Structure 1
Amino acid sequence: MVRFPLTPEEVERGQRLGALLRRARGERSMLDTALDARVSPETLRKIESGRVATPAFPTIAAIADVLGLSLDAVWAEISRPEGGAEPAGSGHDTRERMAS
């Protein structure tokens, strides 16, 4: 599979996602959260650190569920416009990426 470089908007969205998940996790351990979501602790660590900027939807859905976050709230947080611009990924030409 050919992987295209991430756009700056995708990188920023991944960083916002990681920050949101860290805040939602609070004092809960990364290990417990990852195991409850049935993802590897390494995957959760990479997502929280922004190293995986475009994680697979099922991965995010599972983590959000464990943390009590609605997917609507996650999407609203990570796709909020910066500087009044249209949210990243809202155009029709956005390439689909899967990583986990």
Structure 2
Amino acid sequence: MVRPPLSEQDRERGLRLGEILRAARGDRTTVEVAAQAGISVETLRKIEHGRVPTPAFFTVVSIARAVGVPLDSLDLELAPVL
């Protein structure tokens, strides 16, 4: 199955996701949050900077838990504007 190319909205949503998670990380280092989330530091950096605009669901869940962001608030923040 061929994956359709990402739209501009997908890329913008990925950037917003990264901004939200980076802001929620606060003063903690990427090393601390990545370890708590059980992911690599490089994966966290890529997501925070929008280089992975559509990260895996469970990766987002792990990071959100590590930084204390409820998934429902992420959903509200990232919902497409209609």
Please, what TM-score do these two structures have when normalized by structure 1?
0.77
- Over the aligned positions, Cα root-mean-square deviation in angstroms equals 1.2
Task: Give the unaligned 5+ runs of structure 1.
Answer: 87-100
Partner residue in 2 for 1:31: 31
Runs of 4+ deviating beyond 4 Å: none
Residue-pair matches, total: 82
Alpha-carbon distance in 2 for matches of 1:51, 1:3: 17
Q: Which has the higher helix share?
A: 2
Identity percentage over the alignment? Answer: 50
Unpaired runs of at least 5, structure 2: none
Residues 18-55 of structure 1: CA deviation (Å, up to 9, x unaligned) = 00011000110001100100011110000000000000
- Residue 53 of structure 2 is matched in structure 1 by 53
Larger radius of gyration: 1
In 2: Cα distance, 1:79 partner to 1:40 partner:
27
